[in-house]
Every structure is written in C-alpha cells, then in structure tokens.
Amino acid sequence: MSSTGTDDRFDQDLDRWLEAVPAGQGQRVVVGLSGGVDSSVSAWMLKQAGWDVIGLFMKNWEDDDDGEYCSTRQDLIDAASAADCAGVPLEAVNFSAQYKDRVFAEFLREYEAGRTPNPDILCNAEIKFRAFLDHALMLGAERIATGHYARVRQAKGANVWQLLRGLDAAKDQSYFLHRLNQAQLSRTLFPVGHLPKPVVREIARRIGLPNAAKKDSTGICFIGERPFREFLARYLAHRPGPIREPGGRLIGEHVGLSFYTLGQRKGIGVGGSRGGNGDAWYVARKDMARNTLWVVQGHDHPWLLSESLHASDVHWIAGAPPEEIHEESQDQTSDQTNHLSAKTRYRQDDAPCRLTAVAPAESTFESTVGSTLGSTLGSSFGSTFGSSITLDFRQPQWAVTPGQSAVLYRGEVCLGGGVIHSFVSSERSIAGAT
C-alpha cells in the first residue's frame, strides 16, 4: 500500500477514534498534563472534540528535586511544549504539601508496619482526582481528564458510573483507579482509554507533538529512577535481624524488615549456594514481632502460594457491592463475563475467585489508609471504608502481599477493592513465622 493510502486509512481511523470522545460543545475541561505522550494526546483529542481545554501541570514532590532522579523540571518543559502544540493554555499548580501529608506520610507508616503499600493508588484518590478536581472546578470546568488507560460509562438504566478496563490490556490502569467514587467518575474523561498505546504514539507523531517518542515513566512518582532501598533508608530506621529458612536455620542478616517485600528475589543478601537445592531465594514472610525475615528456595514454594486473602478498607465504586455479587461469585455455570476475578498486584492476569462480604472490620483489621481516605473524601464514599472481604481463589496466588490492593472485576467492569491485610498460605505449618 502506498504511503498516501496508509495516510488516508489512518485519517479515517482517527476520525473514528475521535468520535469515541464525548463532544464538548464549548464546555470547559481541565486536563492533567504530565509531560508524557498519553496526557498530551488526550488534550489534543479533547480540543478536536470541541472542548474548551485548559492544561494543568501538577507538581507533587519538592524534596531533592535536583534533576538527577526527579524529572519534574523536564516534565514541565515537555508539558508546556505539548500544550503549545495542541493549542491549549497551561497552568502549573503545586500540590506537594497535600501529597506529602496525604500520600507520602501514609506510605512511610505502611512500610514501618511491615507492609508494602501502593502510593499510586492513594495518589489517584487523594491528589489526581481530588485536589486536582477541586482546582479544576474553581477554574470553571465541567470535567477533568487524564491520560490513564481506562474508560468510564454510565450504566444502562441506572444513575451509576462504571469504571472499565482500558482496551489495551497491556496498558490498562483501572487497578490504580479502583478507589474513585461516583462523584469523581461522573466528571472524568479518559480520552485514550479506548486506544492501543502504539496508536497514541502514532497520533502524537502525526500531529507533531515534541514528546511523541518520550519514554513512559516507571516506578513510584516521588522516587523516580533512584535506588528504592537508598530512598527508604533516608526516612526509615535500620533494625537488622536474622534471615531464616523454613527449617529455622539461620542463613544471613537482613538490614531491616521494612526494606523487603514478599516475593522479592534480588537484594536479599543470601546466595543460592547457601544450602538447599541451589534454587533462588525469595522473601516469604516478615515476622515483625521477632524481627525475622523468612526466605524460601524456588519460585513455586508453598509458602509463596495463597489460596485466599483477607482485605480491609474495602471500597465499592458504585457505593455498595452489587446485591447479586455473592451468588454470581459462586455460580460456576453462569456466563464467564459474570464471574468475579481479582488482581492482587498490577502486573498479573486476572484470577477467578469467590467473594465473601464481611461486616465492618474490627479495629485490628483497619489500616490507616482507609481511615485517612474515609475522612478526607467524606460521604461520597458512603460507608464502604472499614469493611472487609475474603477472597478464595480457584488456583493459588503467588506472593500475596499485605499492603497491596486486591481489586475485583466482573468482565470489563472494575467493581472496587481493598487493602490486603492477611492471607492463607497453601503451606499452613510455618515454624516461627507469622
């Protein structure tokens, strides 16, 4: 096919892709411009769809913003260039105080307690879809938009907004958005959620965006590319202790339980030659009471496999769990799209599961994540925070990690989720470990 024919086909596809973006009819939308290609294309698409677009660059971190690891300065330059190319004004706003108070402080508390939090989930609920939304409303916006790979729709015959997976399964970010509420979703647009990432980059190239080939950001936003343990060591105390294998044998010394996560393989400090079968060592337990790190050999060791988990601080996007959810989760003969599935970490396939809704959790099961979010976001979250759920899996799940989120889906719809509190291992008799 000639290049002209290819261009004509792309133009036809572009028209179709733009039709999927709600028509703006002159209404104002504020787009979170991060300096990346996804948010930049989102701003351009909304402009083409007739929205009055304003770009907003959010600065969420100020400590050691020296450019070596933190890319904020370059990101602002890229955002300004993209805004200029798309023909939209750009405003920069500093949310670093709110971020440090609502997100980073909780991040440190969770690590100190021996859990492994996901600050990007809390950042979305507290900053990108709360502080940002509040600021956008002050600017007269009807909607906000971001470059997330997810979709929003209003359920048929109901005044309920649903969060859907992004159509690009490799880029779907609904996992990170599962704590959004109805008020937030009703005002949110995800212009690239129905597009594959290669198409987004091609649109950027065709319209001349200067960041069309910019590398995707990776890692936790305030840590950037810096060594993770080095960063944590600046804020958390070191408390060395023993490393033991399942039989109780001492095989090394850890630098502090906060610096390890379940399933970790690299940087443990023990080699495959230290006894056993020569397989790689993995972190399997963190015994906070005894300050002991338990490790096992082999990726599929029973200590790393869990048949069920308990999650607290549960949030349902619709405001409450669907009434039929318990029956559906146990009906193995219904259509596959009605079955429940869950992710216990972002980079994993969905796992079929059964759900048991539990009464509001006891105080010992409640983490400060839920109490913080419940108080700051108010009644729009209903009474979902503080409750707990149990998930039972058909197949054991690998390295289920307290502090991470268990997120539930029914087909393409993200229902919500909770913070993993504990799990039931396939191997229940663990000498001295909790």
Is residue 70 annotated as part of the catalytic site, yes or no? no
Instruction: Please say whether the beta carbons of 178 and 417 come within 8 A.
Output: yes
Q: What's the burial of 213, exposed, middle or buried (CB within 10 Å: 0-12/13-18/19+)?
A: exposed
Angle, CA of 71, 77 and 82, to the nearest 5°: 120
Distances (CA, A) of 432 to 424, 428, 429: 16, 12, 9
The answer to whether the CB of 353 falls within 8 A of the CB of 391 is yes
3-state SS record for 145-182 = ECCCCEEEEECCCCCCEEEEECCCCCCCCHHHHCCCCH
3-state SS assignment for residue 256: coil
Which residue among 85, 123, 353, 414 is the active-site one?
Answer: 123
Residue 209: both structure tokens together: 């965006």
Catalytic-residue membership of 221: yes
User: Cβ of 336: how many Cβ atoms within 10 Å?
Assistant: 8
Catalytic residue among 70, 85, 221, 414: 221
Contacts by 358-363, CB closer than 8 A, 24 or more apart: 358/387, 358/388, 358/389, 358/390, 359/387, 360/386, 360/387, 360/388, 361/312, 361/313, 361/386, 361/387, 361/388
User: Mind telling me the catalytic residues?
Assistant: 123, 221
